[in-house]
Amino acid sequence: MKAQLKIAGMMVVLTGLFATSHAQAPDSVVIRVGKESRVIFLIKDKRDLETMKHYNFQALMDDMVQKLEKRDTTTLTTPSRDYLKDSAASSAAVKPSENWDWKRDQNDEDDNDNRHGRRWNHRTHHSFNIDIGMNNYLQNGSFPDASNQLYTVKPWGSWYVGLNSVLRTRVTGKFFVEWGAGVSWYNFKFDNARAFLSKDNTGAIFSEDQRNVTFTKSKLTATFVNASIVPVLDFGSRRSRSAFWDDDHSRSFRIGLGPYAGYRIDSYTKQVYIENGSKHKPHEGDNYYLNNLRYGLRLQVGFRDTDLFFNYDMNDLFTEGKGPKLQAFSFGITL
């Protein structure tokens, strides 16, 4: 009990030490003492941490424990300069920061830190996410397979990859916003390995390559830089989405839906065929009348350590009148 009183006394003094900082949302650290008690740090200015280094906390703690045992709390929030370890620190003035962007949200929780007896509350966190999945497209609400079009894609092998830098900001309670930017690749692998995309002045042309060679692959690849903003409900109130390699696992269910937009920065076709025993992999870079812009909606669903995504482009893949009316989509897992 005496040790707990010592800790409590030191924490109360530290609370008083920072109580004179300028009025802004304080950082908080909650330390559990025993089964029912908690002691709270309130830190309003990051540079006050430097002042803490000059205090003799052993002497201060012994004095405060004596006061707590006597139930004398009249001076607990006014620590004396006698506790400073050197005179230079006694005369040093720490100017409050006016533009401190290292903010905390008092309502947020970090389960990993709680297991170690402390809680840090963050409002915004950054993560680097990788989307891996498959992509396809719809024509008038149906897959091109139904009409046996040459641009029908092979589901397995039409890979979608996205690299995203994401910021996750708590708005209130269990409501977050995930916003950021990244780069993604559509890979439309044609079901017919002889299918070939070309263009003329009138538009994009899908045809069948009649050369007497063995074709093994034919695909269209388009690269976009993207930006997105996705409101998320996280019923576990965790601080950030768990990455595949992160040990801060969440047991919560989370769901989000929001818009994205992208700009095409590259596109090309690639064929793979064998001729006279040799493999050839020619690719031709061109815009093929692909839309420079893409925009749509992104759905995110997660539980525990698994996050799934579904992206649907609301505009056509090709420029109007220059190619088939196709709306691309992708789905998969986020690491």
Determine contact, residues 320/311, Cβ cutoff 8 Å.
no
pTM above 0.75, yes or no: no
- Any idea which of 21-25, 51-55, 213-217, 226-230 has the lowest mean pLDDT? 21-25
Domains assigned to the chain? 2-103 (no CATH), 124-334 (2.40.160)
Please give the mean pLDDT across all residues of the chain.
79
Side chain identity, residue 223: T
User: Based on the number of CB atoms within 10 Å of its own CB, is 87 exposed (0-12), middle (13-18) or buried (19 or more)?
Assistant: exposed
Distance of CA 276 to the CA centre of its chain: 49
The tens digit of pLDDT for each residue in 269-321 reads 999 999 999 999 999 999 999 999 999 999 999 998 899 999 999 999 999 99
What is the spatial distance between Cα 81 and Cα 100, in angstroms, rounded to a whole number? 27
User: Based on the number of CB atoms within 10 Å of its own CB, is 328 exposed (0-12), middle (13-18) or buried (19 or more)?
Assistant: buried
User: Read out DSSP for 117-148?
Assistant: T--B--SEEEEEEEEEEEEEEEBTTB-GGGGT
Taking residues 33-46, what's their average pLDDT? 66
The tens digit of pLDDT for each residue in 180-231 reads 999 999 999 999 999 999 999 999 999 999 999 999 999 999 999 999 999 9
